Amino acid sequence: MKKLKFIFVSLFAILMSCDSDDSDVPAVLTPSNLSVSSVVSTDNSGLVTFTATATNATYYHFDFGDGTSGLTNNGSITKTYDMIGDNTYTVVVTAGVSGNENTISETLQVAVSLGFSDPETVALLTSGSSKTWFLAAAQPGHLGVGPAREGIDGDWWYPKWYSATAFEKCGSEESDCFCDDELTFSTDGTGAISYTLNNNGQTFFNQGHLGVVGGAGDTDACYDFDTSGSKNVTLSMVSGNVPDTETRGIQMDFSDGGFMSYYVGSSTYEILSLSEDLLYVRSYDSEDADLAWYLRFTSAPSTGGGDERLETIYNNLVWSDEFDVDGAPNPANWTYDLGAGGWGNGESQTYTDDPENVKVEGGMLKITAKGTGGASGITHYYDDVTLVAAGGASAPIEDFEGTAPAFTGFGGASSGVIDNPDASGENTSSKVAESLKNFGAETWAGTFFDVAAPLDLATYSSISIKTWSPAAGATIKLKLENQADSEESYEVDLVSTVANAWETLTYDFSAAPAGTYDRVVLFFDFGVSPAGGAAYTSARIKSENLYEFTYGRVEIRAKLPSAGGTWPALWTLGANFDQVGWPTCGEMDIMEHVGNNPNVVSSALHYPGNSGGSAITGATPIATATSEFHNYTMEWTPDSIKFVVDDEIIHTTFANSSDTPFNSDFFFIMNIAMGGTLGGAIDSGFTEDTMEVDYIRVYQ
């Protein structure tokens, strides 16, 4: 026990001796003399290099001022800021010593200017180094006009093509300089873009900007204008009324007044579409804030066809008709539309299934339009459509003396403004409207025209119309509709009381429910289909309910009729047409031709917002369209719709998306119409003309 006690006492003494000696304990360190510097890169990358030094510091913490931070032991660190524009960041740097809480901080302001960059856009514009673009002269959409970014009420409109047929601008003396321009985009690999425009000494000027070159007048024209020198191109984000599926959301700004081929006083262009082969842009007219100009460029110069070949993705033949068995078209593939009128286009033919109008012969499908040269139907006349109040006050709706309204016929009826054929009795005015109801027309055939403002039925409870009928007892129906909703309507029937003379019929609309009535519809001889031989007969065959498909490459080899008034078409219609109607179902016109504009073929896409005269269209000249066979092709994918002639001339390209109706089954239609809204006047000497189809094939 004594020995153990001695050891403990000795150990305690030793420990006490160590505690009392402070010379071996290190002092607690505190960082000091903190210095921080920053270097902002000038390469437009947003890169900033920070350097920090401090006495005694063993680590440095950086709060970069954008919600991110970093830690380093040696005081050197880099940061890449990604906010576009001119921005200033408050950066806090804290120096400390590992193992204790003593720190020191310094704050500095860092200004970073960062331009937008999109590597994919740069690569496509420049091919990684330098790339030259050319006007897409073979495409009618190479120049279009539409609303500015905010448009009217912020709506997005597709452009109206400035040239109705391909090469129109390139074949006219005042604008042919437009088609030789070369636009070169280059990059040095850092993301910066430079641009040069070689316009061969002349620029195509919009008429509103002729003052720039001392010109004057009310037409666009070419002028000598120097565009030499390189411009810088800056990319930036842009948003507006264009659907996301129709734009890249990126715009180009050119320095020093740079512009793309057509002079409208702007150096800013929104990129709507960009691929290796296509650059589609729009710019805003500096003299008219409501106008946007659309331009298409390609990566190869256009020489009138043959330079833009279709690289198809569909090569497996899945359906065809080779028309190699004489007789009626194969009933397993084709059925018929029968009747008159063209379903809303004011056409003059009656469709039949008669072999004189449609047959397979000698390995060809032959659709033949025929004319008898005789009378074509029953004619009525009308004039002075007028609102009438109970007290006798009146307000004109239409008297047909000025600009004629745009008539739309349906079921085999059509209307137009003519000289008054019987200026006597109750109507001695100069101009009247004629209503023609073709032989074989539907019993409900009629026509309509739209008015600029809704009719005021609260003030005026009746509508009077002067009418002329070939017989008494004809039912004349007047119907008012809402253009936007045909279900909102009200109609009144009256009967003609005299033959071959003018009379005034007054329709009572006092019981009509309140509504927006801005369409006037007239049916003459309602309930009757005029008897007699049709002046023009033709055929319209379709694959509805027999063959319908989604996506693929369609090829049709055909030779077209040439007579004035013929309107042949090879086209497709959405298979849900009977459920949702047109244009909701969608329509893809592979080929249309007008005998009054021979050897120019067109294609079109119709769908809501882009139907009738507002369809997406393209056209191209084919010198032998009516004398030789040509291949008319459509390649339809989830991403695009392309129309091609002879595998070479792509004259309409459309970016398909989930927002269009072009993503479900469609069926084929082949026909020849006569006259109507597109066919125009029929040659007075017309007897017959034929469209021949060698084959139709679908590849997927």
SS3 letters for 661-700?
Answer: CCCCCEEEEEEEEEEHHHHCCCCCCCCEEEEEEEEEEEEC
Section 550-554 average pLDDT: 96
Which residue in the block uniquely carries the two structure tokens 């026990």?
1
**Which amino acid is it at 688?**
E
Q: Which of 67-81, 565-579, 670-684 has the lowest mean pLDDT?
A: 670-684
Q: What is residue 684's predicted lDDT score, i.e. its pLDDT?
A: 77
pLDDT category at 307 given cuts 50, 70, 90 is very low
CATH number of the domain within which 477 lies:
2.60.120
Radius of gyration, alpha carbons of the chain: 38
Alpha-carbon gap, residue 272 to 280, rounded angstroms? 5
Q: Peptide bond preceding 561: is omega within 30 degrees of 0, i.e. cis?
A: no
Is residue 464 a contact partner of residue 551, using CB atoms and an 8 Å limit?
Answer: no
Which residue in the block uniquely carries the two structure tokens 């902002």?
40
CATH number of the domain within which 43 lies:
2.60.40.10
Q: What is residue 4's predicted lDDT score, i.e. its pLDDT?
A: 41
Residue 503 shares a structural domain with residue 552: no
Beta bridge partners of 408: 448
Burial zone of 590 (CB within 10 Å; 0-12 exposed, 13-18 middle, 19+ buried): buried
- For the record, the structure tokens of 685 come out as 């000497």
Please list, residue by residue across 369-395, b when 16 or more beta carbons sit within 10 angstroms of its beta carbon and e when fewer do: bbbeeeebbbbbbbbbbbbbeeeeeee
Boundary (domain end) residue, out of 93, 114, 135:
114
Beta bridge partners of 133: 183
CATH number of the domain within which 168 lies:
2.40.128
Name the helix (H) or strand (E) containing 122. helix 119-126
Q: What is residue 373's predicted lDDT score, i.e. its pLDDT?
A: 61
398 is a catalytic site residue: no
pLDDT category at 228 given cuts 50, 70, 90 is confident
**In terms of pLDDT, which residue wins out, 247 or 246?**
247
Residue 46 shares a structural domain with residue 146: no
What torsion, rounded to 10 degrees, do the Cα atoms 116, 237, 233, 45 define? 0
Q: Which of 203-212, 408-417, 683-692 has the lowest mean pLDDT?
A: 408-417
Q: What is residue 341's predicted lDDT score, i.e. its pLDDT?
A: 64
Residue 163 pLDDT more than 70? no
Beta strand 262-263 pairing with 202-205: parallel
Q: What is residue 158's predicted lDDT score, i.e. its pLDDT?
A: 47
Closest Cα to residue 536, out of 563, 559, 558? 563
Which residue in the block uniquely carries the two structure tokens 């009826």?
413
Section 575-589 average pLDDT: 94
Residue 27 forms part of a structural domain: no
Q: What is residue 173's predicted lDDT score, i.e. its pLDDT?
A: 65
Residue 499 forms part of a structural domain: yes
Residue 136 forms part of a structural domain: yes
Residue 2 forms part of a structural domain: no
Residue 285 pLDDT more than 60? yes
Residue 509 shares a structural domain with residue 555: no
pLDDT category at 308 given cuts 50, 70, 90 is low
Residue 282 shares a structural domain with residue 147: yes
At 50-83, the pLDDT tens digits run: 999 999 999 999 999 999 999 999 999 999 988 8
Q: What is residue 38's predicted lDDT score, i.e. its pLDDT?
A: 96
Give residue 503's domain range: 377-524
pLDDT > 90 in the chain, percent: 57
Neighbours of 244 (CB within 10 A): 10
Q: What is residue 534's predicted lDDT score, i.e. its pLDDT?
A: 72
Catalytic residue among 168, 347, 434, 592: 592
Q: Which of 310-314, 422-426, 666-670 has the lowest mean pLDDT?
A: 310-314
Q: What is residue 611's predicted lDDT score, i.e. its pLDDT?
A: 79
Beta strand 85-96 pairing with 59-63: antiparallel
Q: What is residue 176's predicted lDDT score, i.e. its pLDDT?
A: 74
pLDDT > 70 in the chain, percent: 88
Residue 271 shares a structural domain with residue 407: no
Alpha carbons within 13 A on the beta-carbon side of 110: 30
What torsion, rounded to 10 degrees, do the Cα atoms 452, 457, 458, 461 define? 150
Neighbours of 467 (CB within 10 A): 27
Section 603-630 average pLDDT: 86
Burial zone of 137 (CB within 10 Å; 0-12 exposed, 13-18 middle, 19+ buried): buried
Question: In the 8-state DSSP scheme, what is residue 610?
Answer: B
Burial zone of 190 (CB within 10 Å; 0-12 exposed, 13-18 middle, 19+ buried): exposed
Boundary (domain end) residue, out of 465, 497, 524:
524
Beta bridge partners of 427: 424
At 640-653, the pLDDT tens digits run: 999 999 877 767 77
Residue 512 pLDDT more than 60? yes
Q: Average pLDDT over the chain, rounded to whole?
A: 86
Quick check: pTM over 0.85? no
**In terms of pLDDT, which residue wins out, 3 or 251?**
251
Report helix, strand or coil for 343.
coil
Q: What is residue 342's predicted lDDT score, i.e. its pLDDT?
A: 67
Residue 10 forms part of a structural domain: no
- For the record, the structure tokens of 311 come out as 């690289």
Q: Which of 24-28, 35-39, 409-413, 613-617 has the lowest mean pLDDT?
A: 24-28
Catalytic residue among 168, 434, 555, 587: 587
- For the record, the structure tokens of 129 come out as 């180094």
Residue 500 shares a structural domain with residue 384: yes
Residue 288 shares a structural domain with residue 391: no
Closest Cα to residue 221, out of 213, 231, 233? 213
Is residue 216 a contact partner of residue 208, using CB atoms and an 8 Å limit?
Answer: no
Residue 1 forms part of a structural domain: no
Residue 448 shares a structural domain with residue 328: no
587 is a catalytic site residue: yes
Residue 90 shares a structural domain with residue 220: no
> Alpha-carbon torsion 324, 328, 329, 332, what sign?
negative
Boundary (domain end) residue, out of 89, 114, 139:
114
pLDDT category at 169 given cuts 50, 70, 90 is low
Residue 333 forms part of a structural domain: yes
pLDDT category at 18 given cuts 50, 70, 90 is very low
Report helix, strand or coil for 310.
coil
Residue 306 pLDDT more than 50? no
Q: What is residue 2's predicted lDDT score, i.e. its pLDDT?
A: 42
- 292 vs 158, 257, 295, CA distance in Å? 10, 18, 10
Closest Cα to residue 516, out of 469, 567, 482, 485? 482
Beta strand 540-542 pairing with 666-674: antiparallel
Contacts of 499 (CB under 8 A, 6+ apart): 469, 470, 471, 472
pLDDT category at 155 given cuts 50, 70, 90 is very low
CA angle 382, 384, 389 (to 5 degrees): 125
Is residue 568 a contact partner of residue 589, using CB atoms and an 8 Å limit?
Answer: no
**In terms of pLDDT, which residue wins out, 535 or 221?**
221
Q: What is residue 612's predicted lDDT score, i.e. its pLDDT?
A: 74
Number of structural domains, the chain? Answer: 4
Residue 513 shares a structural domain with residue 385: yes
**In terms of pLDDT, which residue wins out, 471 or 609?**
471
Residue 585 shares a structural domain with residue 487: no
Beta strand 160-161 pairing with 193-198: unpaired
Closest Cα to residue 257, out of 291, 231, 285? 231
Residue 616 shares a structural domain with residue 679: yes
**Which amino acid is it at 643?**
F
Residue 279 forms part of a structural domain: yes
Q: What is residue 66's predicted lDDT score, i.e. its pLDDT?
A: 93
CATH number of the domain within which 642 lies:
2.60.120.200
